[in-house]
Copies of this chain bind each other. A is one copy, B any other.
């Protein structure tokens, strides 16, 4: 055998090994896995560096654009990943990481995810997913029932019907929102006489046929950015998303909504959809859904509810009434990877009318043949993993009352945090929690007093320095790595609607304790003192007159 031939054969054998020989338990990867299985929090605590590194520094470790010409041993690569990647990842499941919507996962999810990967089903069609298809349909049925509360007969009829679907499972809320508005668009501009429908002929022909000047999507100014993205993708244009202003509780102003509908009708612009928000991304507030549904009915348009965050609240009997009217929606987005505690990559949309997905149906010769129950015939995505299994398992293991407890606790915790913010002289609560989100900022008492008395210019000046201070504290806190809140900019009514920078907190991690919340305020209070520019400026401004 020649040298090169021998080398080729050796490579081939080692390749065969990675597909056939499991990682030994005492290998590096085996040890890592054991650590994760036995103590995930410990593993993450040990391996994620507390102190943040500059992104530009981290990028140096990921700067090679050449695909390696030499294989690396799995164990060597694992050391590399621990050293360069894991150490500089974000400890999203840390109880003091309360700035975003990603939180801790139940332990059973870890081995279950491994089973999911091992099975490697493809949900696009039954031939590559078999029982996963009815399972996903059942999960959609359960979430549909959670929203719409129809009777057994309804679900017996539609849940497994080939040409119907109670919803679509997808990778997340953005795809769910796009899917909902896609369905709405295709139903509004459907086939009519010689016109074959927007799905076939496109928007240009559709608007010409129906003689509309344009289409509009109405949502409160707190609506998620994915709606503008949806309007762009769907060919309506971002400007077709019209933001309606909100009241002091971040809820859409229904009077203004009605007026806008009327004004658009007068201009021959057809309202495609009114979108209610059930849990705004920034403040967690819920729109008056019943009233919105009525307006949608009056203007004969699709009513979509973006409950990506708040949908899981329906699992709580105590707080379900907050979402009253959601059952009137034509479609509802819910993210399972948010308050349902499954890993990233699980969103869904449910449709009131099981026939409405017909307007987005697709077929092909080798799969999705007409009359088949392949899920892929009415999803935006094609090939998809079996994530529905994780939702299914969570619904069984945690159960509805378990979820209720988790959700109620999160809201209680948010109320507690709001209380201690309000009681603290040097913090200012900006938005009260309705669900488990709230916003606030560090604002020394003397400045707060000053703001209530200052004229508009002085108020703006103080607020602009406070913005800088908020940013300073948030960044410093993140860099220190002890705890994390996010920041955003929202219109604050008491400051004449000024867009103001605030800390944003999401309290969904079941392991976040009251002590942690108290510590966050202590830490932020100390960090504020480290600001040698903004804080002195503020104090001097507030005390100079």
Is B199 in contact with A33, judged by CB distance below 8 angstroms? no
A8 CA to B115 CA in the complex, in Å?
32
The copy count of this chain in the complex is: 2
A448 at the interface (CB under 8 A from B): no
Task: Assess the B20–A511 pair: CB atoms within 8 A.
Answer: yes
A388 to B309, CA, bound (A): 25
Q: Is A105 on the interface with B (CB-CB < 8 A)?
A: yes
> Interface 1/0s, chain A 179-201, versus B by CB < 8 A?
00010011000000000101111
Smallest CB gap from A99: residue in B: B127
Q: Given contacts A89-B131, A120-B105, are A8 and B405 in contact (CB under 8 A)?
A: yes
Interface of A is mostly: helix
Query: Does the CB pair A172–B363 fall under 8 Å?
Result: no
A251: interface (CB < 8 Å): no
Given contacts A65-B152, A160-B59, contact A15 B235 (CB under 8 A): no
**Which chain B residues border A52 with CB–CB below 8 Å?**
130
Asked whether A117 and B110 contact (CB < 8 A) given A58-B131, A130-B90, A145-B67, the answer is: yes
Chain A interface size range? 35 or more
The answer to whether B174 and A69 touch across the interface, beta carbons within 8 angstroms, is: no
B63 touches A160 (CB 8 A): yes
CB contact under 8 A between A201 and B119, given known A23-B107, A171-B345? no
User: B171 and A11: CB pair below 8 A?
Assistant: no
Per-residue B-contact encoding for A219-232, CB less than 8 Å = 1, 0 else:
00000111011011
A229 and B360 alpha carbons, distance in the complex (Å): 8
Residues of B contacting A8 in the complex (Cβ-Cβ under 8 angstroms): 405
State whether B226 touches A382 (Cβ < 8 A).
yes
Decide: A389 and B81 in contact? CB cutoff 8 A. Answer: yes
The answer to whether A22 and B44 touch (CB under 8 A), given A109-B117, A174-B382, A510-B15, is no
Taking the closest CB of chain B, its distance from the CB of A287, in whole angstroms, is 19
Q: Which of A256-264, A395-403, A423-431, A454-462 is the contact stretch?
A: A395-403
- Whether A237 contacts B201 in the complex (CB less than 8 A), given A36-B118, A365-B488, A399-B69, comes out as yes
List CB contacts (< 8 Å) of A46-84 with chain B: 52, 55, 58-59, 61-74, 77, 80-81, 84
